[in-house]
Structure 1
Amino acid sequence: MRAGVVVGARPGVEELAVRAEELGLDSFWVNDTPMVHGDPFVALALCAKATRRIRLGIGVTSPALRSAPAAASGLASLNALAPGRIVCGVGTGNTARRTLGMRPVTSARLEEFTAALQELCAGRPAAYREGDRVREVWFLHAAGHVNTADPVEFVVAALLGPKAAAVAGRRGTGLVSFGLLDPAAWRALHEVRRRAAAPEEEPGGPGSYLVTALHVLDGDEDRHGDAARDATGHLVLSLLAFAADTAAEDPAVADGLGPGGREAVRRLLERRGTTATAPDRHTRLYPGYLGRIAPQDRDLVLPPLMDALALVGTRDELLARIATLERAGVDELLVQPVVDPPAEMARLAELLARP
């Protein structure tokens, strides 16, 4: 299986990209979460100039964050710096929208946005809509400014719902999902995508990416000890924050976590000094989002949630789980390193080293 990493944009990120390339990793992604991390287009421009081989990904952008012309301009500009190495994840903005206190967009708007990006990045005209006004737009000065000759790879973010997977099928894109370690769920997403795809699409289709966290156990180390919680806690806390944020509008999310998870959601709200109905709760729930957790929050990293969202185990256990995911159609494992990124990238590369 291919392997890559996902990080937040910050000064010096290009040094991590260089190290990822040296380690033989396949891709290097930067989150698009305004008001949480820096700008991914700025970060990836630095990475593009500093690397030669590794693919560079936006993970993921949304029509509620950027207009199609602005996003296409950023992608085509990156493609001029790193021809043929650019990957763009697109989604409804579930995370990046909620960190702003807003709701995600609809799958219909996601599909319209994806179609426009595909056309514009390929140098073709696309329909651009603002309210009731629709105009055809395209790059007016492509040569020497942007690259629309080399392809940009697109992937649609899909969790368990079928709508985004169907968008991926209709648009001929790949899939990316977060913390989805259930092979049956991946097979279901691929089946939805396959049914929605055009008849002439080649068998197998575009790539599928799994974003998760990884912790390789050392000897008889406790699989739910502090080291494992620190390496995986950002994923667990992201789920708890989402459940807390949506508890009033959709209690099924918190209820689905079981009694222990519901109690963890309650404690998280209390610890952050907010409530499930406070209009400014996003300002309390999301600081430090997808970063290394504080030691005092380790108790919220429940073992069942760690096991559901992250890969923790011995080398042999992890290789067996990864092989099962690969058989279910996952092509690339994307790890979010938060404790010691260079060391974590090295462990990922060593784990998946090709003979």
Structure 2
Amino acid sequence: MDFGLVLQTDPPASAVVGLMRRAERNGFRYGWTFDSTVLWQEPYVIYSRILEHTERLTVGPMVTNPGTRAWEVTASAFATLNEMYGNRTVCGIGRGDSAMRVAGRPPNTLARLGDAIRVIRDLAEGREAVVDREAGTTLTLPWVENGRLPVWMAAYGPKALALAGQVADGFILQLSDVYLTEFMVKAVRTAAAQAGRDPDDLTVCVAAPAYVTDGTPEALAHAREQCRWFGGMVGNHVADLVDRYGEHSDVVPEALTAYVKQRQGYDYSHHGRAGNPSTDFVPDDIVDRFCILGPVEAHVEKLRRLRELGVHQFAIYAMHDAKESTVDAYGKYVIPALG
């Protein structure tokens, strides 16, 4: 199992670079960041610094979207980084939550997302692509040689899961609930097989907060408060699914949707941050299911269960007060047990 670290690009950027270097020293193979350029600093600039100051780390957004940048711009950014540092990028992509909504736009359609995945990957790998279907505009980045860009898609709902299986190189699931992971990985793999693809070729990445404690009830309570924001972030996507499919649906598990009944709006100024006041509706059991909290043994046990379900990477959302100690604990105890 591979391990990744997910950070927000808060200033100073040097702190982000430093944490990524620390992660690499501890055996992490992936460095991810949010991509919402109103709320945080521009990630692609920071990727260049991370790549310059690491040797093996693969970097990318968790996640970008097809609406805030022209697709050829996104492809060119990845291709440039790959030319400079040797194909050490991955493109995580989704419909867009904070990046789109903060700018007053709705998330992208799945049709647009599917087209973008194909175009960005083709251009970044040096192939010709149609960037505007209506105009029939075809582009190539003529300077790309031996480029490689895996594109991993984030998804929750049935249509998005199907699209990930049909067109993406990998699937990003932003929660670590064992039951939901099994349900969604199966849906993605089934869609891949139905599309004539080999399901084993898809990389599965589970991303969630992890907080290592000393095993006491007091430490667990503190960890829950530090990670409760994550249930609110996931709740934005879940609320969209409830609006579309209703509270009781055969295609969306109630284990995912039931908790958003108490949700009363969301303030993006606190997005992805510990203490987010918009996440008071998230109960303890959701925090426990969606995140990995507790002593090292609890982390290893849950990750072993996820690995048995076909998860290839666990990426830690480190938006809490124990970033360094969590990275170090994973490097000393967890990664050796599962890597």
**TM-score normalised to the size of structure 1?**
0.82
Once the two structures are superposed, the pairs formed by residues 71-90 of structure 1 within 5 Å of their partners are: 71-90=74-93
C-alpha deviations, 1:253-296, integer Å up to 9, x for none? 999334xx534x24xx5xxxxxxxxxxxx7xx1102112225x7
Helix, strand or coil at the partner of 1:190: helix
Helix, strand or coil at the partner of 1:213: strand
2-structure distance, mates of 1:333, 1:167: 22
Are residue 120 (structure 1) and residue 123 (structure 2) matched? Answer: yes
Q: 47-56 or 186-195, which moves further after superposition?
A: 186-195
Q: Which residue of 2 aligns with 1:178?
A: 174
Gaps of 5+ in 2: 249-253
Are residue 329 (structure 1) and residue 331 (structure 2) matched? Answer: no
Are residue 190 (structure 1) and residue 191 (structure 2) matched? Answer: no
Equivalent residues of 2:5, 2:20 under 8 A apart: no
* Structure-2 change in CA distance of 1:228 and 1:154 (3 Å): same
Equivalent residues of 2:238, 2:257 under 8 A apart: no
Give the superposition deviation at 1:80. Answer: 1.8
Are residue 206 (structure 1) and residue 208 (structure 2) matched? Answer: no
Aligned CA-pair RMSD = 2.8
Helix, strand or coil at the partner of 1:257: helix
Equivalent position to 2:65, from 38, 62, 83: 62
Question: Which structure features the higher share of helix residues?
Answer: 2
Give the superposition deviation at 1:322. Answer: 1.0
Q: Which residue of 2 aligns with 1:155?
A: 152
Are residue 233 (structure 1) and residue 215 (structure 2) matched? Answer: no
Give the superposition deviation at 1:45. Answer: 1.1
Task: State which structure, 1 or 2, has the greater radius of gyration over its C-alpha atoms.
Answer: 1
* Structure-2 change in CA distance of 1:72 and 1:148 (3 Å): farther
Give the superposition deviation at 1:210. Answer: 0.8
Q: Which residue of 2 aligns with 1:293?
A: 275
Are residue 341 (structure 1) and residue 312 (structure 2) matched? Answer: no
Equivalent position to 1:134, from 133, 136, 160: 136
Q: Match for 1:21: what amino acid?
A: E
C-alpha deviations, 1:292-317, integer Å up to 9, x for none? 225x7785552022023111233223
* Structure-2 change in CA distance of 1:93 and 1:192 (3 Å): farther
Give the superposition deviation at 1:62. Answer: 1.2
1-structure distance, mates of 2:164, 2:326: 31
2-structure distance, mates of 1:172, 1:196: 14
1-structure distance, mates of 2:332, 2:49: 26
Helix, strand or coil at the partner of 2:159: helix
* Structure-2 change in CA distance of 1:248 and 1:173 (3 Å): closer
C-alpha deviations, 1:191-236, integer Å up to 9, x for none? 334324435x4x6113111110112231323465123321x12202
2-structure distance, mates of 1:162, 1:246: 9
1-structure distance, mates of 2:123, 2:280: 47
Q: Match for 2:19: what amino acid?
A: L
Are residue 256 (structure 1) and residue 253 (structure 2) matched? Answer: no
Gaps of 5+ in 1: 270-281
Q: Match for 1:157: what amino acid?
A: A
Equivalent residues of 1:166, 1:196 under 8 A apart: no
Q: 76-85 or 241-250, which moves further after superposition?
A: 241-250
1-structure distance, mates of 2:236, 2:195: 34
2-structure distance, mates of 1:103, 1:192: 29
